[in-house]
Amino acid sequence: MKQGRTKDTLVLGFAMFAIFFGAGNLIFPPAIGINTGADVIPGILGMTLTGILFPMLAMYAVVNMGTDFVDLSRHINSWWHQLFRVIGLLIVLFGTIPRCGAVACETGMRGIFPDVPSWVNVAFLFVFFALAYFFASNRSKVIDMIGAYATPILLVALLIIVVLVFAMPIGSPTGGTVDNAFTYATLTAYNTGDIPTGLICAGIFLGSIRGKGYTEYKDQKNILVRAIGVAFIILVVVYGGLCWLGACGSPYFPADMDQTALLNGLVQRLAGYGGIVVLAIAVIFACFTTAAGMIATASDWILEWTRGKVPYRIIALVVTAIIFLMSASGVSNVLAFSGPLFTLVFPMSVVMTVLGVCKRLVPNDGAWKGAVYMATIVSAYDAFVVARANGLHAIATDGLDQLMAKIPLSSLGFDWLIPSIVGFVVGAIIYAAVKGKRAAPDGQTAPQS
């Protein structure tokens, strides 16, 4: 057995937690808590299901089908992974990572120094993304650097807050605004959208494992699954503590309060200005670890597209520079652009995750094609609607809107679910009839363990 397996697992698990725990994931647990109130325990369970377990399963789906995302997506077609990466790259460049910088600046740095002049924002962002580039430019060590250096600071800051939640409680869970806490929390956490991150980042985690000398597929899978367990436990503790804090804040804050203001208010009531400083540090490092990890992932894709003709560090530098400029110039228009892209990619990510995890229940590649294609068609319509709502176009589709509204579960944002199930069944039948054979249900693309 390779020496240091436990250390490798812990470092990878810490990095996994840090990359998933972006700044947005700081604000939704308290919001769930204050809305579930006295029923906070079912709320925590619902949040754990879709906000933690599903994203972890997305990574497992990749390793369950092979050694990278290509092995999973080839059951759809030979180019699907490229489409997914192009959409993901646009989201990274023009949405999530510029947003990380802006949040780190406004909620993090200005949480500690609220009265500094505006030019300090640009200086902070320059340092922030320069350090993110430094981490990401070390291609073979980026996961180790995040797990060994950045994550401990983030984790200590978060655990200070979580410990204070129970050691110095501001009250007991009371109130609540929702009838079914579990359902509410399940839907709210689902909409945080970390499932695509799992599919996107699985490759870089597996690459890190291979870089440590684990050449056998069974060892790579074992390390990744154990690291997923580490990240899952940390996320449950942190999310659960923040959710409990929100449930205790019902007497002091309205449930419809802005989520960032709610988090700041709860922490300030819990620990005063010192708590705000600790929270600001947590926000900065939550954003930083996500930024470094996603810059490395996006740069890896571009390196593959250029067939290695452009040096990795040059690619990472250009990617970082674009993100810095977008973040420094303001992200409101950027988010209007990235919103439709995220709406497009999310349903297909959920379907691919479920199929990858349950590969033994998938009869053939036609089921993959039918389910994913139907999810993508419906989500393309949803992305079109989001683009219209964001002011990117003004094309009216009243008749189509009324038709789509009749699809079961559309009011909950799951208009793609039933069509995906139908596509799964019809696709499997057509494939079996035309091809007259089954694709291996145990995934022949995966190396034999």
Buried b (16+ CB within 10 A) or exposed e, 74-99: bbbeeebbeebbebbbbbbbbbbbbb
Question: Can you give the pLDDT at residue 58?
Answer: 94
Question: Can you give the pLDDT at residue 438?
Answer: 47
Question: Can you give the pLDDT at residue 441?
Answer: 47
* Dihedral of alpha carbons 277, 279, 282, 284, sign: negative
Q: What is the pLDDT of residues 163-173, one digit of tens each?
A: 999 999 999 99
Question: Can you give the pLDDT at residue 66?
Answer: 87
Cα–Cα distance, 101 to 118 (Å, whole number): 15
Let me know: does 294 contact 88? Beta carbons within 8 Å. no
Cα–Cα distance, 414 to 377 (Å, whole number): 13
Alpha carbons within 13 A on the beta-carbon side of 353:
24
Let me know: does 293 contact 122? Beta carbons within 8 Å. no
Question: Can you give the pLDDT at residue 79?
Answer: 94
Positions of the chain with pLDDT lower than 70, given as ranges: 1-3, 23-24, 191, 193, 330-335, 436-449
Question: Can you give the pLDDT at residue 151?
Answer: 87
Let me know: does 13 contact 228? Beta carbons within 8 Å. yes
- Choose among 311, 270, 255, 264: nearest CA to 283: 264
Question: Can you give the pLDDT at residue 281?
Answer: 92
Let me know: does 46 contact 181? Beta carbons within 8 Å. yes
Question: Can you give the pLDDT at residue 319?
Answer: 96
Question: Can you give the pLDDT at residue 443?
Answer: 45
